[in-house]
Amino acid sequence: MKRVLPPTTFGLLLLSLIAAFRLNAADSPSPSTIPTLQDDWGNVHNQFVADAKARADKINIVFAGDSISARWTLGAGRDIWAKRYAPLGAINLSISADDAQDLLWRLENGELAPLHPKMLILLIGANNLTQSPEAVAYAVWANVAYIRKTLPDTRVLVQGIFERENPPSDAGRNAKVNALLAHLDDGKMVKFLDFSSKFLKPDGTLDRTVFTDGCHPEKPAGFQIWADSIQPVIDQWMTEPPVANVPPPPSPVGEAKDLAWGTPFKRNDFLFRHNRYLIFASKFPCNLLFLGGTTMDCWGRVEDLTKKEYRQYHFLNFAIHAARTENVLWQLTNGEIDHLQPKVVVVQEQENLDDKTPWQDVAAGMKAIADTIHQKLPDTKVLLIAAFPKGAHPTDPLRVKIASYNDALSKLADDKTTFYLDASKGFLDANGAAASVPIPGPMPYDPASFQIWADNQRAKIAELMGATSQK
């Protein structure tokens, strides 16, 4: 006979189980509080490899490049991509900020291995333009040579590097690079196509209504021009069989003076910035330090403003693009502040709040950051800056989440060693709707937003710097 517990006994047992679950959950640290080395580039590469394996038999067209090509699927080109390329079987293997050698590493380490496409549409080299035209052309050629050797039945469309608003010293550099890349066209399996002039106005300057940041096509109109320019090649190659036994094209420059630009390179931007900050910490005095993710990192774009506001404090900014609380903790526990004695550390974090991470975990990560700073630098004051409001209206789910997070953040302040500041004044109107000036960040980027931020925190930073200097 089955034993049935009386209601009171069952209720007590259930309460015990719930209490035990909560205790265990509380004992389990949140990922937001565990120091973690960031590898966003490696994670995206691994996703590309997995996607290529999953869809290998359906892929006919590969796009490969940097942030310009990445915008086909992550930016203003996505609608055209969905209508024009996705039905043909396309994959986009493009990562923002990639140099030619970064792309070469990715191609050599699994992204092409499962694929046998009809064509690969390549646009790379814009981030190599600090080098000589010969070095840039050599680096692009290294990618083409690898693709042709690895996929002998795949045609390669090499696109000329787009024009951008370069400083005067770079005038004509694109034209020199593209003239060299034109030599890769073998009339059989590699074609060179330069249509960058279609993005220019009649006076020869870049059309900023399309390239709004001076570098990337940010409007659908730009991608329409791009798509129309390459469509005849795609139409031809989708139906025309490959030419057999065509070797890779020779280098257009013989051997470049700097062969490193044709050597595969595995990126880790976070680790690169960390190592640079270790050098800064050993060389420069610092009384005011900024930490955080993308939002704080964007202070680097308003150099004149930061000099005006913070140079008097011997200011350093150790924020890193896309750094989450766990990544900032990794920075702190791996030497970045070990040789510094700042009077004030300003921390602002938004990264974790934009995904499914609970706001409680993000607040716990900020507490761990403040605690770590106090442990390493007991005489340093920590100023926690509230997350800026996102969402057009007060009822937007992300706005509500951020409000709860900010409330928790404010409770971490004891006004002795840890302080809190809401610097969002001016970014919302009287009804709580988004104002005309966007919140600080890269997309959309507006220098005026950082001036507002500076105005909002100027008095608090001055107060803390003065209070600390009197100890």
pLDDT in tens, 332-372: 999 999 999 999 999 999 988 887 899 999 999 999 999 99
Quick check: 382 and 345 in contact, CB under 8 A? yes
Determine the pLDDT at residue 16.
Answer: 38
Residue 248 token pair: 């890779």
Please report the domains of the chain, with CATH numbers, ordered by start residue.
40-262 (3.40.50.1110), 269-469 (3.40.50.1110)
Q: What are the Cα distances from residue 135, in Å, to 131, 157, 163, 174, 379? A: 6, 20, 18, 12, 50
pLDDT cut 90: percent of the chain above it: 76
Our answer to whether residue 32 is catalytic in this structure is no
Determine the pLDDT at residue 157.
Answer: 98
Query: Which one from 45, 94, 207, 216 is the annotated catalytic residue?
Result: 216
Instruction: Give residues with Cβ within 8 angstroms of 389, minimum separation 6.
Output: 399, 402, 403, 424, 427, 428, 434, 439
Determine the pLDDT at residue 255.
Answer: 73
Query: Between these two residues, 25 and 140, which has the higher pLDDT value?
Result: 140
Query: Between these two residues, 171 and 206, which has the higher pLDDT value?
Result: 206
Determine the pLDDT at residue 13.
Answer: 39
Determine the pLDDT at residue 356.
Answer: 86
Query: Which one from 39, 40, 51, 67 is the annotated catalytic residue?
Result: 67
State the Cα–Cα distance between residues 248 and 235, nearest whole angstrom. Answer: 23
Strand-pairing partners, residue 91, are: 62
Our answer to whether residue 169 is catalytic in this structure is no
State the Cα–Cα distance between residues 108 and 104, nearest whole angstrom. Answer: 6
pLDDT tens digits, 2-29: 333 333 333 433 333 433 333 344 457 8
> Above 80 in pLDDT, residue 102?
yes
Residue 41 token pair: 């580039």
Determine the pLDDT at residue 166.
Answer: 62
Query: Which one from 213, 354, 422, 446 is the annotated catalytic residue?
Result: 213
Quick check: 53 and 30 in contact, CB under 8 A? no
| Phi and psi, residue 256, nearest 5° | -70, 150
> Above 80 in pLDDT, residue 123?
yes
What's the mean pLDDT in 285-308? 96
Side-chain half-sphere CA neighbours of 105 within 13 A:
17
Quick check: 326 and 292 in contact, CB under 8 A? no
Q: What are the Cα distances from residue 60, in Å, to 120, 121, 426, 446? A: 9, 11, 50, 40
Pairing assessment for the beta strands 344-348 and 288-292 based on DSSP bridges: parallel
- Tally of CB atoms within 10 A around 113: 14
pLDDT tens digits, 407-455: 999 999 999 999 999 999 999 888 888 778 889 988 778 899 999 999 9
| Phi and psi, residue 420, nearest 5° | -130, 140
pLDDT tens digits, 378-399: 999 999 999 999 888 889 999 9
Mean pLDDT of the chain: 90
Determine the pLDDT at residue 429.
Answer: 84
Determine the pLDDT at residue 9.
Answer: 37
Quick check: 261 and 250 in contact, CB under 8 A? no
Our answer to whether residue 96 is catalytic in this structure is no
- The one-letter amino acid code at 135 reads A
pLDDT tens digits, 266-294: 999 999 999 999 999 999 999 999 999 99
